[in-house]
Chain A
Amino acid sequence: MSTPSSSGRPINGRHTNDYVAHVPGYVDNVGPKIVTSRFTYEDSHTLERSLSTGGYDGLKKALTQTPAAVAAEVKDAVLLGRGGAGFPAGIKWGFMPPVWPRYLVVNGDESEPGTYKDRLLMERDPHQLIEGCMIACYALGLNQCFLYVRGEMAQAQENIALALNEAYAAGFVGKNVLGTDVSIDVVLHWGAGAYIVGEETALIESLEGNRGMPRLKPPFFPAAKGLYMKPTIVNNVETLANLPWLMMNGAEEYKKIGSEKSPGTRMLAISGHVKRPGVYEVEQGVPTFRDLFYDDNFCGGITDDHELKAFVPGGGSAPWFFGDQLDIKIEASDVGPAGSMLGSGAIMVMDETTDAVKAALRLVRFYARESCGKCTPCREGTSWEEKVLQRIDDGLGRPEDIDLLLDIGRNISPGTYPVASFGNEGLEAVPFPPKQTTICPLGPSSVAPITSAVRRFRDEFEAKIVSTSSTDEFRPGGETSRPDHEVPA
């Protein structure tokens, strides 16, 4: 059960008294729990608590079966990857050719704007993750797993290091796991601040000690040519955290939770203008976005009972949804055709007071800052988009700037960009994913906020464009972000 927050004071007009006090941001809503079941214990990160609540039982059970049987169980469960692409983990595992050595790399480089489920899983229940890694390593027949944690997450690194030290000492990891002949090492590795490293081939480059730039696929599909050019599986933290429960309860039980196409639960981080923002574990394909925003079991309404303006359904890279899309279910197979993605489970809610131009600018600025610079359309295009949006926001835009923005976008992502339907104007949805002229999806992601905002709120852009011709006074981009703000010398 939830315990009241220690302070209990309303901050920014939002409830704070429904949180699990020792896990800032986590809301213990009503519903089945697979990966967050220990979060309500204050000592959920310790081996003692883990063992007293069934920790490592899944690994023990897996070790009594053949690796092939464990892999088959995961495949049967249709465990969809929770990192963003939503590809079934069991099928991904099957892509590995019979070549050794092979590696497992755990993607804990969670940096998508709005996302923070993996951080909570790593901080609050590291043993569950380690057990998941061990089950995956056993199923895949490999000796060494690298657990890559985002650099900025000092607490997660610390809790995982503690947990690994405990697990090694107790014989759950390392040489002769639980007294068997199986030896598997889990090595904690950590990054140093680069969003692009969340992309699996960039993650591998980073793990090899290089600049984190993505590799071209094909030929460098990690399952065939990954770490050190050997077969490598890259799985998300939440995906692996599901494995202990899955091993204990079996694929049949797993499929009873969630929907037919998307079994199990998902952790969703709902932030922005809602009364009770938080990380929720919800059944996939059961609630709709309307339930999440308005139901008392979830966010309980928009802040100050304002009107909803728009929301981002799956991290900063997802095209925006609007009021028309509220009744779509939380399921990748429904969200994709509607013109966006569930991605990393980050939902950001914007109410009627939000400035669409500023919101789009902020997201585009993220991609401009985080572009690794490998592909020209992204390296040049994202910062160009940022400069044009900045000058529009500063009131220095030119009338042709809106079309210029869309044109730059088409050079990064050719064709019609995925977008939600707009009933009032009879516009149809364009399904996800976008096309790309780049190696990885970072560049095309920068186009999402622009096409979403311009299509729906073009009038707001036009209202900010006060100059009437491109020969008017123009201040180049750069030091224009806060023209009205004076900072003492």
Chain B
Amino acid sequence: MSRLSPENEAIAHDIIARYPRKKSALIPLLHLAQEQDGYVADDAMEHLAELVEITPAEVMGTCSFYEMFVTHPVGKYKIDICTNLSCQLLGAEDLLHHAEEKLGIRPGGTTSDGLFTLEDVECIAACTEAPCLQVNYRYEYRLDNGDFDTLIDDLASGKRPEIPDHGTLAKVRQTITPDRLGGVSAPEVTGTPAWFASRQPAPEEVS
């Protein structure tokens, strides 16, 4: 849809400044674009390419490798149900079937009202709380079918305001004020840091 807004472009410059090479900032910047539009738009990829000084094709190459980036609009809430072994052993497949029936969509599909996208995902690191799922990367643990229905109804009626729309990950960003920044360690700048050299024991005499 769109390039980064001026506010987001300022954030992007902040992020880029922390890395020795601009391209290293690409994945955080793709998340920024996804946070802005809910998906990574073509124009946004072109904008990122300008910001980190690579080609749009290279941005697309990185973007398409990672599962979390979507290049088309998805639902406001992305429901990721884990079906890996620990969850499977405790009924995740039944939960997924129930979710398909409740929402009337298959994994990968989006409901016609644009509210929900369903995904069948790999281990999301909450294995002892199986079966579990994430809504826009926020956890829900040990769900039975009734819990799932309640969750969907609550999301649809706006009772879960703490869950942001799809695209937003952490609600807090790292900020480094210029007076606290130690400095970027560029690969071109060789030489031991002065503080390290001064703390090395004197080299032993070789006899």
Q: Which residues of A contact B (CB under 8 A)?
A: 11-12, 24-25, 66-68, 99-101, 103, 110-116, 118-119, 141-144, 150-155, 157-158, 160-162, 164-165, 168-169, 171, 174-175, 180-185, 187-195, 206-212, 227-230, 269-273, 277-279, 312, 316, 346, 348, 350, 354, 358-359, 362-363, 366, 369-370, 372, 482, 485, 487-489
Interchain CA distance A152-B125 in the complex, whole Å: 9
| Chain B residues, CB < 8 A from A161 | 170, 172-174
Nearest CB of A to B13, in Å: 15
* A interface footprint on B93-129 (CB within 8 Å = 1, 0 otherwise): 0000100110011100000000000000011111111
| Assembled-state Cα–Cα distance A304/B128 (Å) | 16
Whether B18 sits at the interface, judged by CB under 8 Å, is yes
Given contacts A192-B27, A370-B122, A488-B104, contact A113 B174 (CB under 8 A): no
Q: Which residues of the partner chain A approach B84 to less than 8 Å between Cβ atoms?
A: 113-114, 316, 362-363, 366
CB distance from B140 to the nearest CB of A (A): 10
Instruction: Name B151-165 residues within 8 Å CB distance of A.
Output: none
Which of B69, B101, B136, B169 lies in contact with A487, CB distance below 8 A? B101
Cα(A207)–Cα(B187), bound, Å: 14
Minimum CB–CB distance for A104 against chain B, Å: 10
- Asked whether, in the complex, the Cβ of B183 is within 8 Å of the Cβ of A183, the reply is yes
Distance from B84 Cβ to chain A, minimum over Cβ atoms (Å): 5
Measured between C-beta atoms, what is the minimum distance from B72 to chain A in Å?
16
Beyond known contacts A168-B176, A485-B97: 9 more, CB 8 A cutoff? A99-B190, A100-B191, A101-B189, A143-B183, A150-B125, A190-B169, A271-B130, A273-B89, A489-B104
B11 within 8 A of A: no
Interface residue count for B (Cβ, 8 Å)? 83
Enumerate chain B residues within 8 angstroms of A370, measured Cβ to Cβ.
122
Q: Are A192 and B172 in contact (CB under 8 A)?
A: no
Contact indicator A348/B86 (Cβ below 8 Å): yes
B177 at the A interface (CB under 8 A): yes
CB distance from A215 to the nearest CB of B (A): 15
User: B5-41 interface mask toward A, CB cutoff 8 Å, 1 = contact, 0 = none?
Assistant: 0000000000000111101111110110000000000
**How far, in whole Å, are A152 and B189 apart by their CA atoms in the complex?**
34
Cα distance A312–B97 in the bound complex, in angstroms: 26
Q: Considering only CB atoms, which chain B residue lies closest to A112 in the complex?
A: B123
| Contact, CB under 8 Å: B89 / A359 | yes
Q: A192-B31, A211-B62, A359-B85 are in contact. Are A103 and B185 (CB under 8 A)?
A: yes
Q: What are 15 contact pairs spanning A and B, CB under 8 A?
A: A12-B90, A101-B187, A115-B125, A153-B125, A155-B170, A185-B176, A194-B66, A228-B21, A229-B187, A230-B187, A271-B86, A279-B128, A316-B84, A366-B122, A487-B106
**Cβ-defined partner of A183 (8 Å) among B67, B90, B191, B195:** B195
* CB-defined contacts of B1 to chain A, threshold 8 Å: none
Determine the distance from Cα of A403 to Cα of B128 in the docked complex, in whole angstroms.
Answer: 34
Query: Which one of B28, B122, B199 lies within 8 Å of A111 (CB-CB)?
Result: B122
Give bound CA distance, A359 to B139, whole Å: 24
The majority secondary structure among interface residues of chain B is loop
* CA of A194 to CA of B67, assembled, Å: 6
- Of A114, A188, A228, A487, which is within 8 A of B20 by CB? A228
Q: What distance in Å separates the Cβ of B199 from its nearest Cβ neighbour in chain A?
A: 5
A272 touches B176 (CB 8 A): no
Cβ-defined contact, A208 with B176, below 8 A: no
Instruction: Knowing A228-B187, A487-B104, say if A350 contacts B127 (CB, 8 Å).
Output: no
Contacting residues, chain B, for A169 (C-beta < 8 A)? 180
Q: Which residue of A lies closest to B171 (CB)?
A: A158
Assess whether B184 is interfacial by the CB under 8 Å rule.
yes
A131 to B32, CA, bound (A): 28
Which of A100, A115, A192, A488: most chain B Cβ within 10 A?
Answer: A192
What is the bound-complex CA distance between A228 and B22, given in angstroms? 12
- How far apart are A192's CB and chain B's nearest CB, in angstroms? 3
In the complex, what distance in Å separates the CA atom of A153 from the CA atom of B123? 12
What are the nearest 7 A-B pairs in CB distance?
A183-B182, A193-B67, A192-B66, A141-B196, A209-B26, A209-B23, A116-B125
Contact residue among A152, A193, A348 (Cβ-Cβ distance under 8 Å from B127): A348
Cβ contact within 8 Å between B85 and A316: yes
With A100-B190, A157-B170 known as contacts, the answer to whether A152 contacts B101 (CB < 8 A) is no
